[in-house]
Amino acid sequence: MSARPQPLVVGAGPAGIRAAEALVAGGLRPLVVDEAPACGGQIYRQRLVDDGRSTKDLYGSEAGKAERLHAAFGALEGKIDYRPQALLWNLRDGVADIVVAGATRRVAYDGLVLATGATDRVLPVPGWTLPGVFTLGGSQVALKAQGCAIGSCVVFAGSGPLLYLVAWQYMKAGVEVAAVLDAAPAIAKLNLLRALPLDPGIVLRGTRFVAELRLRGVAIRTGIEDLRFEGEGRVSGVAWREGSRELRLDCDGVGYGLALRSETQLADLAGCDFRFDQRDRAWLPVRDTAGRASVPGVYLAGDGAGIAGADAAECAGERAALALLEDRGLAFDKVRAAKLEAALARIGRLRDALEAAFPFPAHWAAGIDNATTLCRCEEITAGTVREAASRFDIGEINRLKAVSRIGMGRCQGRMCAAASAEVLADATGKPIEVVGRLRAQAPVKPIPLALQLTAEPAELPEAAE
């Protein structure tokens, strides 16, 4: 065992699990830090207690993958240091600050695998802050992890593969699904034909979801515009437009999302270079095909480095770990590494087709009403942001933040950064990549102020419990 500090893996979803596994196989003992109480990430999230449902009930066609990942992580017990319910809130130069059980500790690491995952991407629409409106991912968490439905008569709106999956899962759970409202025009789905040879399983599964939803009488509308959620104190209906037709439905719950956005804050704090990715329409940390970031010793894997899904996350997590082993002068399986990169390239082509089938409705940003809340935390309207940009002649997102407080709230722009960049780009007539990206700040999520005053910093984690 070398005297160098241990590698640090952030996140215990599909990417983090496979990374930790490969590091252990390579002879290292990583520290794995994860916010959740149990491994699995969001997609393979585990319940707090057994509720009588089988893994098949919970994860559907992906039950086998979920079981294998949970088992693989379980098998690492004693070979890794694992900190669940732990928030890594600051990072720099081989040192991380981690809050565990109410105390913050400082940990030195040598080699960092960031497998931070993703959350829903949203654009504000009227009523999106009403109680009863959740993200698509949030709707899924409620059902899968908590066994709770977000309502008795539910509408799912937005875009992306998750839209149909969550609607289908709710229908299967016996919840009335009033409608699926897809921002993408029907013709965009022809792109799925390109995806078919790359992954027939995923395309056929999606087709089956749509067919079964229709069979149960669920209205599926495509190319919807002017989406808004209505209600006094809680959501009671959804309205939208199709061409010149105005439509409306009663409902008591809404799941809304426009595909996913990567959690890149820690990569930013680690000093990684970013580039604008046209397909994801987002700033992403630069990485090579193995997952190496621009900063030596930093590796990126999974949806946190660019949206590619859970299968890709498993491959990328393992590949990144192999790169870490190689860079540390340890033995690694070159053939395996090449195989993983080939699989990732294939999934990349699949993502190209899926993104074209579920295009992000960027043009919605121009239509966001001035009265609509853009920033949920600081309650800043789209009108305020447009006025600030115009009055101070601002064309860059961090300057906009300084004068308008957009992205300065508790969520640090997780919910509003994509939208405020789109609004700023539209208001200034600039391409989206020109307005830049919000810089991340520590702490990346709220921590109690008292922590920093009372906790004794520890240099190294204790041995595994």
Q: Which residues bind another protein (CB under 8 A)?
A: 35-37, 42, 47-49, 51-53, 119-120, 129-135, 137-139, 141-143, 146-152, 173-175, 233-234, 252-253, 263, 376-379, 409-411, 414-415, 445-446, 448
**CB 101 to another protein: min, Å:** 13
Check: CB of residue 356 under 8 Å from CB of residue 189. Answer: no
What do you get for the CA distance between the two ends of the chain, in Å?
Answer: 20
CB-nearer residue toward another protein: 216 or 234: 234
**CB 223 to another protein: min, Å:** 26
**CB 451 to another protein: min, Å:** 12
- Of 443, 406, 408, give the one whose Cα is nearest residue 35: 443
Task: Please give the backbone phi and psi of residue 401, each rounded to the nearest 5 degrees, phi first.
Answer: -60, -45
CB-nearer residue toward another protein: 234 or 334: 234
Q: What is the C-alpha R_g of the chain?
A: 22
What are the structure tokens assigned to 218, written together? 């669920």
What are the structure tokens assigned to 281, written together? 């329409």
What are the structure tokens assigned to 8, written together? 């640090």
Check: CB of residue 420 under 8 Å from CB of residue 406. Answer: yes
CB-nearer residue toward another protein: 174 or 243: 174
**CB 142 to another protein: min, Å:** 6
Half-sphere exposure of 107 toward its Cβ, with a 13 Å CA cutoff?
33
Q: Work out whether the CA dihedral 35, 88, 272, 397 comes out positive or negative.
A: positive
Q: Give strand pairing partners of 97.
A: 90, 106
Kindly tell me the burial class for residue 232, based on how many C-beta atoms sit within 10 Å of its own C-beta (0-12, 13-18, 19 or more).
Answer: exposed
- Of 202, 165, 206, 182, give the one whose Cα is nearest residue 349: 202
CB-nearer residue toward another protein: 53 or 68: 53
CB-nearer residue toward another protein: 173 or 442: 173
**CB 88 to another protein: min, Å:** 13
CB-nearer residue toward another protein: 6 or 119: 119
CB-nearer residue toward another protein: 122 or 423: 122
Check: CB of residue 310 under 8 Å from CB of residue 316. Answer: no
**CB 187 to another protein: min, Å:** 31
**CB 131 to another protein: min, Å:** 3
